[in-house]
Amino acid sequence: MADLTEQQKRFLSATGCEVAYDHLTRHLYATDASIYRVKPLAVAFPKTVAEVEAITRAAHECGVPITPRGTGSGVTGGAIGPGLVIDFSRYLKRMGDFDPDTLSIRVEPGLVLDVLNNRLKRHGFVFGPEVATSSRATIGGMVGNDSSGARTLLYGTTADHVLAIEGVLVNGERVKITSKGTEPRSLGERLSQLIEPAREEIARRFSADLPKRWPGYGLDRFIRRGGNPCYIVVGSEGTLMLVTALELRVVHLPRQVGMAVLFFNSLDEALECAPQLVELKPAAVEVVDRILFDQTKGQLQFANVRQFLGLDEFMGECFLIVEVYEEVEDKLATITQWVRGARVITTIDRSKINGVWSLRKAGLSLLTAKKGPKKPVAGIEDTVVRVGQLAEYAQEIRHLLNQFGVKASFYGHAEAGLLHIRPMLDLRDVNDLGKFRAIADAISELVQRYNGSIAGEHGCGMARTEYLHRHLGPELYSVLSKIKSLFDPSGLLNPGKIIDTGVYKIDSHLRMGPGYRISLPFEPQLRFA
């Protein structure tokens, strides 16, 4: 995109909203936790809803695309864009008082999940969905992606906990969305008119037995849960409106928590065990493979938990973390009986439980710092199938990867049928880049054969939008396009995400693609890659 003219800059800044046009800020906001890079023209930091309204209206008048952003921990490039990035995390992060009568709390979108949960904990409550990035992910970003993570069987996804959404449309108009309808009313009425005729196709394409989400706007939940328009906005990845406030439903903290860690020789053995464990209605069944847990080797921070789990002596390939709530002793005893033969560690000690979670949560960040040129690459990496299909599905994926001679890390939320699969590739190498494309295309086809979801929790962003038409079919894709036009007729809100403009591909706009070089004015003595 052409740079902003001086006149456009003056026009944007005249709104009173803080806007940065300098190269350093633009470079910093050109990336998120994805493999992509798109340099914006400017970055805005609104302090009030009035400023969001004013800066949005001004950008709209200038014809500048707008990308809302939390803390950029998304892995599909959802929070980067070529025009104006609006950072909600710097100032719009206040929260209201917790209301014990309605079990709800009002928050601004830039609030970080851990900050919210620390406040709720004092009252004995928690926001149900938990992301591994809870120390930095914002509620606005979680709403953008309809995030979930562990404990989906108990708590569902973010969408299941949003009671009301306030925000701004691309022309600066304020809107409010609740389960009862929308303000202005016409928005909700038109939404129903667009979605209702596709009821049968929605039921056919989106079976109700996946605990995670289907990609695109939440048509299935809108239909199945009484036409609640919140389900369309949650998970819309900043393509429909800018969220400025949310009313959230919270849940009681469990009284008792227990954990069993089950060790296996292979991923297959672990995944075959998962369906039986799910019968116990656990809070979570997380699968962690050797590539991931080996990253904590030699890290002082994880020395205690590694010792507790005996990871230095463990010769197998994989372990399952099973977390249970209430009647924990019975449940842990049942698990121990079920998996006779496999090594099992159980605990009800909260500090040990937290230690195991911190190892699991930090694992992915550590994984991305893996030494050597080949890195675990995020692409189609949050696919969801039914838990009973998981072992067979993982075998097919491994077979596929073997054909390309590629290793991958497998970890994820087994109870919900979600596997994060990260092939180890060097995207600066054209051969590996070719493999990346071929593997992504093949996984997309495989997931379709399993009637699963290609984007169970990370959104479509730049990475999966190109596959959406194929996964949804022409009728539902056309409904998505009409919803986009209803909310954002100018197409300026986070363009190219969910609704394909042909600009983004899973292997385009790479941060470190072929030809990427850092030219240093000295010879480095220490190298990771």
3-state secondary structure 217-231: CCHHHHHHCCCCCHH
The tokens describing 130, both together, are 């938990």
* Least distance (Å) between residue 128 CB and ligand FAD: 13
The tokens describing 208, both together, are 């109700």
The tokens describing 364, both together, are 């992915």
- Which residue carries 């998981």 as its tokens? 390
Region near ligand FAD per CB under 6 A, out of 135-143, 184-192, 388-396, 517-525: 135-143
* Least distance (Å) between residue 70 CB and ligand FAD: 2
Beta strand segments in 368-449, E: 375-376, 383-384, 408-413, 418-425
* Separation of alpha carbons 393 and 517, rounded Å: 37
Burial of 119 (0-12, 13-18, 19+ CB in 10 A): middle
Nearer to ligand FAD by C-beta: 289 or 457? 457
Question: Nearest-5° angle of CA 427, CA 431, CA 437?
Answer: 70
- Within a 10 A sphere around the Cβ of 341, how many other Cβ atoms? 6
Q: Does 182 engage in binding with ligand FAD (CB under 6 A)?
A: no
- Among positions 2-41, residues that touch ligand FAD (CB under 6 A) are 32-33
- Among positions 114-133, residues that touch ligand FAD (CB under 6 A) are 131-133
Nearer to ligand FAD by C-beta: 35 or 243? 243
* Least distance (Å) between residue 211 CB and ligand FAD: 13
Nearer to ligand FAD by C-beta: 178 or 336? 178
* Separation of alpha carbons 342 and 133, rounded Å: 31
How far, rounded to the nearest angstrom, does the alpha carbon of residue 228 sit from its chain's CA centroid?
22
Nearer to ligand FAD by C-beta: 147 or 346? 147
Q: What are phi and psi for residue 163, nearest 5 degrees?
A: -90, -35
* Separation of alpha carbons 40 and 339, rounded Å: 53
Q: Does 495 engage in binding with ligand FAD (CB under 6 A)?
A: no
Nearer to ligand FAD by C-beta: 250 or 332? 250
Q: Does 423 engage in binding with ligand FAD (CB under 6 A)?
A: no
Candidate list 8, 104, 444, 494; residue touching ligand FAD; CB under 6 A: 494
Q: Does 504 engage in binding with ligand FAD (CB under 6 A)?
A: no
Q: Does 383 engage in binding with ligand FAD (CB under 6 A)?
A: no
- Among positions 443-462, residues that touch ligand FAD (CB under 6 A) are 457-459
Q: Does 149 engage in binding with ligand FAD (CB under 6 A)?
A: yes
Nearer to ligand FAD by C-beta: 58 or 111? 111
The tokens describing 27, both together, are 């470079």
- Residue 184: cis peptide before it, omega within 30 degrees of 0: yes
Candidate list 71, 152, 296, 444; residue touching ligand FAD; CB under 6 A: 71
Q: Does 56 engage in binding with ligand FAD (CB under 6 A)?
A: no
Q: Does 137 engage in binding with ligand FAD (CB under 6 A)?
A: yes
Is 389 within 8 Å of 450 (Cβ atoms)? yes
Is 233 within 8 Å of 96 (Cβ atoms)? no
Q: What residue ranges bind ligand FAD (CB under 6 A)?
A: 32-33, 67-75, 78-79, 88, 109, 131-133, 137-138, 140-142, 144-145, 147-149, 237-238, 242-243, 364-365, 457-459, 494
